[in-house]
Structure 1
């Protein structure tokens, strides 16, 4: 099905043409017609399947046809679990909505507080936000939820995983009742907890479910190597030397500590690498993503939570340095490559600790991942060791104007003798 077959405003069609979209993806073909009819939609959709365009096209069409003017009270709200995803949605909205008379504003922490507040006061049509700062502005009455016509919840499952569900419920209770607004919910899985949210806050939502076989990127070449935990890094270096077309490489690990350690090892071996973690300030995170998109960085190392919202075109390789514990995360990870019809390659390592997750992954995606045991020539043992990270300095506190270092506590059972004490422990006689 083509976008031109849908009943869309001319402004929306022109934006779709500008970004080069012609045919609808499966999730778009099933969800957009329902949304255009005004129905609530709860859709299972992975990253890379076109879900963002699905809800943006539907949202733009509704707002343009309603004919209301821009004010400081928004007409639509898009909720996302991470800052990076908010930034990506806004970028997609500006591309698709170039010709639409709609103002889109991002709201999230880590950026200029007063600037975002002023933008709300000047008037917006669509807010794209993470929950925390949005609630802050709402409580200050910078804007009101009273005029919301449409709500989109993106990556609803991650809202639960990241502990935002309480804030999300607070926001949804402040919106007009569900029969007076349209709601679209997108999630990697329509689990019981996600559907419970839909039953509570949505108006008889139509379910759209794309089977895992359809969700897995068809143009991704997948291969899995069985290797020991200590063999993974030399195997990674050896395989990269053989991959002549390696451009942007996205590497996934399961912990923040491993992400930092792997990044240090890559840098020590003269690879342009950076890590994305929750501890990095937002300005620096955005700069790292910009460098990765522009090709200044070859490797981006991330965990699943920190990587949410990373949408970078022309990622040639996804490497599962650690197999994910959640099968859905495997599909999410490899969907970062082979986007927009391009080819891509997903390389996974199964070590003695992670191999136990393989059966669940293969059951979820519906097929066996082609596997191999690496040969001797696949390893590169001649590599440089990384320099250990410096330990954090001993914390200091201020007392009476002087800095005092926290002293190590005495071992249990030890007694600290007072100064100038006698051998018996009693104070000396005068």
Structure 2
């Protein structure tokens, strides 16, 4: 892939898209120059700070023509002070365009919150999946370890599931996303870094298995559903480990997340306990929809809403 990219650049290109690390590497090798750049687009600007890429961005910007001589487009889901500082530093009299400035969460997203204990989270997740039976769902967790646990339980329960964490290489990532987009996988378990920027249609449900530490990540996560005019359902778990994040999230989105309750005795109790292997094994086979459309017999579980 690396040599192919060099060969393409040697032939000449009009538009160059890439990560900062690879772009700088090829630039330093003299594969292309920056002194005739007419348009520069920076996507996910807010995330560049979190991932430590902002020094690379500044390195490239300072080697381009003056800001008055190029068109600068900066896209960011959230407009933090750091992003605004970058805009003022590298743009000339920028125009600010904001979509739905008064609504941080989509109007077509049904939000729901549970307060499970840590030990109930897996059983509650699988019970809700049985009740909701999502056509396509993303389950977010805060760590690779948590992702591996959720992935293993979903797999053992017969679901078609893939996993994306920060250490998944690009080829495998693209393969998993293609399977998920085509409907060959019904569930995607992911961390925030791995799932950033995903634009997959027809995601009916988002599960926050762990409440995110960053309130902005909550908005990004649930925004994976209810796209292109569709409706969606976002279900969040505030367990004892991450419940302290809830106040900041609700303050940021400017509303309380509707609370639901569950009966511990009604949770699924016929689950197959998996053997969790901490290794790269990211997708699994067919979802069993036979025998009552793949569902267990009705166990009388009902959500009690407050």
TM normalised by structure 2 equals 0.87
How far apart, CA to CA, are the structure 2 residues paired with 1:185 and 1:214?
21
Instruction: Note if contact 2:148-2:278 (Cα within 8 Å) is conserved in structure 1.
Output: no
**Offset at residue 123 of structure 1 (A):** 2.4
**Offset at residue 376 of structure 1 (A):** 4.1
For residues 256-304 of structure 1, the C-alpha deviation after alignment (integer angstroms, 9 at most, x for no partner) is 1111121112111111112101212211111011111111111111111
Instruction: Note if contact 1:255-1:303 (Cα within 8 Å) is conserved in structure 2.
Output: yes
1:342 equivalent to 2:230? Answer yes
**Offset at residue 228 of structure 1 (A):** 0.6
**Offset at residue 364 of structure 1 (A):** 1.1
Larger Rg: 1
Instruction: Note if contact 1:239-1:378 (Cα within 8 Å) is conserved in structure 2.
Output: no
- Look up the match of 2:166: 278
- Look up the match of 1:361: 249
Q: Label 1:213 to 1:384 Cα distance change in 2 as closer, same or farther (>3 A).
A: farther
1:243 equivalent to 2:243? Answer no
> What is the total number of aligned residue pairs between the two structures?
280
How far apart, CA to CA, are the structure 2 residues paired with 1:238 and 1:378?
9
1:124 equivalent to 2:19? Answer no
**CA root-mean-square deviation:** 1.8
Gaps of 5+ in 2: 281-306
Instruction: Note if contact 2:112-2:235 (Cα within 8 Å) is conserved in structure 1.
Output: yes
Q: Label 1:273 to 1:212 Cα distance change in 2 as closer, same or farther (>3 A).
A: farther
Q: Label 1:119 to 1:379 Cα distance change in 2 as closer, same or farther (>3 A).
A: same
How far apart, CA to CA, are the structure 1 residues paired with 2:279 and 2:10?
45
For residues 34-90 of structure 1, the C-alpha deviation after alignment (integer angstroms, 9 at most, x for no partner) is xxxxxxxxxxxxxxxxxxxxxxxxxxxxxxxxxxxxxxxxxxxxxxxxxxxxxxxxx
- Look up the match of 1:102: none
**Offset at residue 237 of structure 1 (A):** 1.0
- Look up the match of 2:205: 317
- Look up the match of 2:53: 164
How far apart, CA to CA, are the structure 2 residues paired with 1:212 and 1:297?
34
Q: Label 1:192 to 1:163 Cα distance change in 2 as closer, same or farther (>3 A).
A: same
Q: Label 1:202 to 1:271 Cα distance change in 2 as closer, same or farther (>3 A).
A: same
Instruction: Note if contact 1:213-1:365 (Cα within 8 Å) is conserved in structure 2.
Output: no
How far apart, CA to CA, are the structure 2 residues paired with 1:149 and 1:378?
61
**Offset at residue 384 of structure 1 (A):** 1.1
How far apart, CA to CA, are the structure 2 residues paired with 1:309 and 1:391?
25
Q: Label 1:213 to 1:251 Cα distance change in 2 as closer, same or farther (>3 A).
A: farther
Instruction: Note if contact 2:154-2:161 (Cα within 8 Å) is conserved in structure 1.
Output: yes
Answer 1 or 2: higher relative contact order, Cα 8 Å, separation at least 6. 2
TM normalised by structure 1 equals 0.63
Q: Label 1:149 to 1:240 Cα distance change in 2 as closer, same or farther (>3 A).
A: same
- Look up the match of 2:66: 177
For residues 16-36 of structure 1, the C-alpha deviation after alignment (integer angstroms, 9 at most, x for no partner) is xxxxxxxxxxxxxxxxxxxxx
How far apart, CA to CA, are the structure 2 residues paired with 1:213 and 1:340?
19
**Offset at residue 391 of structure 1 (A):** 8.6
Other structure's SS at 1:315 match: coil
How far apart, CA to CA, are the structure 2 residues paired with 1:290 and 1:389?
24
Instruction: Note if contact 1:225-1:348 (Cα within 8 Å) is conserved in structure 2.
Output: yes
Other structure's SS at 1:163 match: coil
Aligned pairs for 1:33-48 (under 5 A) are none
Q: Which of residues 259, 271, 275 in structure 2 aligns to 1:383?
A: 271
**Offset at residue 388 of structure 1 (A):** 3.2
Q: Which of residues 191, 194, 197 in structure 1 aligns to 2:83?
A: 194
- Look up the match of 2:157: 269
